[in-house]
Structure 1
Amino acid sequence: MRRDPLRYVKTGLAIFFAAVVFLFLDYTLPYKQTVRITNTYNRLTDIGANSIFYASPDTGTVENSKGQRDVRFIDTVRPNGKVYVYRNEDTGWIWPPFFKYDSSNLHSQATDLKSTSDAPKWVSVTSYGWRIAWLSVYPNAIKIKPVDGPDARPTNWGAQITLVILGALLFLIWRMWNQFRERTLSPAARSVDEAFDRVGDDARQAKGRLSRWWSGLWGKRG
């Protein structure tokens, strides 16, 4: 059975595209975690190769001559006892589209909600991004809301609504592509095939006439 090499290329491209879309959504979509805030502080942070994971300069962030930035951080503890650290930066008006300009207010709120393990105050932190320790990358907190206890799991409406809208857009694009292919590409492909068939028929007819002429010419000479 003969295998089509182009099929493997298409499959590889499809897998690569799907992986890129998944990582993009996984980083950008907001998610919620129930945690207990243990500390809030500012720290001069080195911004270098990991700058893509921090706020862009147009949000008002300022770096010194050493490439360091004064970043707000929020230390938390999950219900299972594992620590989790958030950064608290404005997002601006470009990307991601959270339009966050209240990082100072959020910092004050987080400070007010600090608690100890003896008298815990549980909160739901809405954030986006990844925590990559070896790259000093932190998710960005965008909202904090008190909850009843460590078992609280607020509905992540933002991510769900976004996924529904994206799904509807993809379905619409898929329908438009199918209609374009059926109404434009398929007839054009058939027209090209028919044109090639006509050219082939004309070429065969011309070859037949040339062959008869050549035979007749030699017949006269014979």
Structure 2
Amino acid sequence: MRYLKWAFWTVIGLCLFAFFHYTLPQHDIVRIVGTENRRVDVGDNSIFWSRAEVGMANSTSRDVFFINAVYPNGKTMEYRNEDTGWGWPPYFKVDSYGLQTQAKELGSSPDKPIWVSVTHYGWRNKLFTIFPNAVAVKQVEGPDVTIIPWVNIVIFTFLAFVIFMIRRMWLQFRERTVDPALSAIDSRADAAADEVRGVWGRFMAWIGTWRGTPRR
């Protein structure tokens, strides 16, 4: 049971880690090398695509904006640029057209690089054709700039506070309600056991009197 308990909590922890890693904003320092508008047929991986742009009908085949970028070490990255609207994750993004124009303005060449911070959520997976969704682009001073994830810090601090308060409430509830109830149950169980032992003892004593009675 001990190993089963640890396995259960390990699975829960991995699921929570994957959920937050996919949903919370991340920042990449890259150089934008191109933008494009591509026709996409959303298939089995539709969970990793946003809904159609706000004000447009949903369809499994639609035009999607993409932003092509390069990391300082030369590795490539591709972002999709889709509205999230009022759906999940709650970024309330409705300006994919404006973001695409801004990304075009920040495009640069290797000899005159313009480094930008791309704020996004999601993962990049070539096997399953999954792209992170860019939610903001901002020019930065250079490739070595450090972006402090204030949003993530605030969210995790708030979650830690909520978990701390829930634990305190549970401990107080257990101390005031659960533990006394369990103690009362144990007391009644001990009393019942003593009573049963007393009755059984008297019964055995009565049986003993029959053993000591001489036969006629």
Q: TM-score, normalised by structure 2?
A: 0.90
Structure 1 CA distance for aligned equivalents of residues 186 and 63 of structure 2: 65
- 1:16 maps to which residue? 11
Structure 2 CA distance for aligned equivalents of residues 59 and 178 of structure 1: 46
Q: Is the 8 A contact 1:73 1:88 kept in 2?
A: yes
CA distance 1:117–1:58, shift in 2 (3 Å): closer
Are 1:195 and 2:195 matched, yes or no?
A: no
Moved more, 118-127 or 48-57: 48-57
Q: 3-state DSSP class of the match of 1:135?
A: coil
Are 1:78 and 2:71 matched, yes or no?
A: yes
- 1:102 maps to which residue? 95
Q: Is the 8 A contact 2:52 2:62 kept in 1?
A: no
Q: In structure 1, give the amino acid aligned to 2:14.
A: A
- 1:132 maps to which residue? 125
Shift of 1:195: 1.8
Shift of 1:156: 1.7
The alignment's C-alpha RMSD in Å is 2.1
Shift of 1:98: 1.1
Structure 1 CA distance for aligned equivalents of residues 201 and 116 of structure 2: 87
Q: Is the 8 A contact 2:51 2:83 kept in 1?
A: no
- 1:205-220 counterparts in 2 under 5 A? 205-216=198-209
- 2:46 maps to which residue? 51
Moved more, 208-217 or 44-53: 208-217
- 1:148 maps to which residue? 141
Aligned length: 215
CA distance 1:163–1:197, shift in 2 (3 Å): same
CA distance 1:55–1:61, shift in 2 (3 Å): farther
Q: Is the 8 A contact 1:61 1:69 kept in 2?
A: no
Moved more, 176-185 or 212-221: 212-221
Q: 3-state DSSP class of the match of 2:127?
A: helix
Structure 1 CA distance for aligned equivalents of residues 56 and 184 of structure 2: 59
Unpaired segments ≥5 residues, structure 2: none
Q: Is the 8 A contact 1:77 1:84 kept in 2?
A: yes
% identity of equivalent residues: 44
Q: Is the 8 A contact 1:86 1:138 kept in 2?
A: yes
Q: In structure 1, give the amino acid aligned to 2:157.
A: V
Structure 2 CA distance for aligned equivalents of residues 77 and 100 of structure 1: 24
Are 1:113 and 2:106 matched, yes or no?
A: yes
Q: Is the 8 A contact 2:51 2:58 kept in 1?
A: no
Q: Is the 8 A contact 1:63 1:70 kept in 2?
A: no
- 2:164 maps to which residue? 171
Shift of 1:92: 2.1
Q: 3-state DSSP class of the match of 1:39?
A: strand
Unpaired segments ≥5 residues, structure 1: 1-5
Shift of 1:62: 4.6
Q: 3-state DSSP class of the match of 1:120?
A: coil
Aligned pair partner of 1:33 in 25, 28, 32:
28
- 1:184 maps to which residue? 177
Q: TM-score, normalised by structure 1?
A: 0.88
Q: Is the 8 A contact 1:37 1:75 kept in 2?
A: yes
- Would you identify which runs of 4 or more consecutive aligned residues in structure 1 move more than 3 Å? 56-64, 212-222
Q: Is the 8 A contact 1:62 1:70 kept in 2?
A: no
Moved more, 113-122 or 135-144: 113-122
Report Cα offsets for 1:85-121 as digits up to 9, x if no partner. 1011111223111111111111111111111112211
Q: 3-state DSSP class of the match of 1:100?
A: coil
Q: In structure 2, give the amino acid aligned to 1:125.
A: V
Q: In structure 1, give the amino acid aligned to 2:5.
A: K
